[in-house]
Amino acid sequence: MSEQPGGEPTIEMVVQAHRALKAQKPLVQCLTNNVTVNLVANALLAAGATPAMIDNPEEAGRFAGQADAVLVNLGTPQGDQVKAMHKAASGAHQAGKPWVLDPIGAGSMTWRHGLALELLEHRPTVVRGNASEIMGLAGHDGAGRGVDSAMSPQSAINAARELLTQACTVSTSGPVDMLLGPLLDRHHNGPALVEIGGGSDWQPRVSGTGCALGAIIAAYCAVVRDPLCAAVAAHIHVAVAAELAEEHAQGPGSFAMAWLDALDQIDEHLLRQRGLIAVRWLDA
């Protein structure tokens, strides 16, 4: 794991994290949406990580202890995969491996919401979702419609803060992404709120870009010791790639292909040139 200096998330920290990702190529176990599994695997490869789509209960728990990080995505949870999710989350927690929970549909679908709450007991490193999902998971009215969000990331700040009792970092995606969590080497009474700008309006029109973001967050968590800084690096990587892809896309299909290419093409110059980060501290 990369031993990066502490402090506020900066573009230079993102650059260091990106170097570590490319050098270490972390192995990320993905228990994810069967609609988007191919895009998630290819996005990890393009970003510089190694995917392992191990989602059966016979192998998931043991493999989670061997992987560098784990993603649990509730896009299409069914039968044996649900058992595997519990085993993988438990296995990762027991082995001290970072894992990311993407609680798709939490708050708006009762059974799925209950599953997300059960998985929270295994203390994910990062919870990543849209505003409605984050609010719903925390017990607020998120006004979600299935997997869609009717709320802004700003409206989910209080809910995200409540979830910090069970996760190290909470990431809320939207037109401006908002990430909340403490920094390991900063002694503040309250958590840091990091706003990430950029990205593309095409992203929500391609199924799987959010799922892939969750996987890439897991990959960065494997090489960056501070979960908040890891999540920031992942969001910047994905957002800058989306901006590059938009410049070449003619529609959702071509955007998806261009985005995969751009995830691979990201370099230090592009991160410094286009990365947008704003940090402020919340009161205790």
How confident is the prediction along the chain (284 residues), in pLDDT tens digits per residue? 544 444 578 999 999 999 999 999 999 999 999 999 999 999 999 999 999 999 999 999 999 999 999 999 999 999 999 999 999 999 999 999 999 999 999 988 899 999 999 999 999 999 999 999 999 999 987 555 444 445 788 889 999 999 999 999 999 999 999 999 998 766 666 799 999 999 999 999 999 999 999 999 999 999 999 999 999 999 999 999 999 999 999 999 999 999 999 999 999 999 999 999 999 888 76
Q: Which of 81, 41, 23, 78 is nearest to 57 (CA)?
A: 81
* pTM, entire model: 0.94
Domain ranges of the chain: 11-281
> How far, in Å, are 25, 28, 107, 173, 223 from residue 176 at the CA level?
28, 26, 22, 7, 25
Q: Helix (H, G, I), strand (E, B), or coil: what is residue 196?
A: strand
- CATH number for domain 11-281, candidates 3.40.1190.20, 3.40.630.30, 3.40.50.300, 2.70.70.10: 3.40.1190.20
